[in-house]
Structure 1
Amino acid sequence: MAKAMEEDATFAAGVLKRCFGRGGDFTVVVDEREGREGDSCGSEVKRVEFKVWSTLLTQWSAVFDKMIHSDGFLEGQTAQVVIADFSSEAVEIFLRFLYSGVVEGPLETIVEVCSLADKYQVERLQELCTQAFRKGPKP
């Protein structure tokens, strides 16, 4: 019976993974500055938007739960959060994890994902990122 439950969980994770990017009731916006580092003049903002399910965000993260369900937060009123301190690649890996429970990406981006997981208090993702660091390339 335990094997059937494990297979069911894997199947469900696969279904959710395929749902990523196919709509949602909440928008995660990533505003990235493009241009030379330290050069605020002339740098352009790259804007990437991800439509996600707010329920999924709130189940993984107490921070998102507070943002979305508290009257005092703009994010709950606008159904949108703007992230300007992380790359769109890291945010996408972060969000894909919320849908699938799997973290995949280059080690240098996983470092950023770990910081993102810390900011939004997604403990399981932090654990997986830490495991990836330990297994990563050795000097």
Structure 2
Amino acid sequence: MKNSILTIFIVCISGISFAQNKIEKCNTVAQEKQKSCKDHLIADLISDYAEYPEHALNNSHEGTVYVRFTTNANSDLQNVRILGKSDAELADAAKSAIEKFSHSDAKSLLAQNEVYRIPVRFEAQ
């Protein structure tokens, strides 16, 4: 149990460090492409927190759930909602991933007072 907690902790820390390096790379692209670059990175991080619902996986339910949220002056997530129609299980899993992300150190990568529209992908492999 201690080993798995330590492993998860190390993966999260290395992931955040990796993400910060990617953010720095996003800052070097043209100004008009920076938001798109950062949004892709944040979407990848949030997807890392997504747990594929077992029932959906067993029944080969795949899809992309689009989640919209805003951030306040402290980069706290607000107004989280699912956009469009999505499989209910996948939508719940996407909301759960957003919730986990919002309590992680990776949240610091979010801009203040910003609107995000993030795809959370579920693909059986």
Superposition TM-score tier, normalisation by shorter sequence: 0.3 to 0.5
TM-score by length of 1: 0.32
Question: Which structure has the larger Rg over C-alpha atoms?
Answer: 1
The structure with higher relative contact order (CA 8 Å, sep 6+) is 2
TM-score by length of 2: 0.34
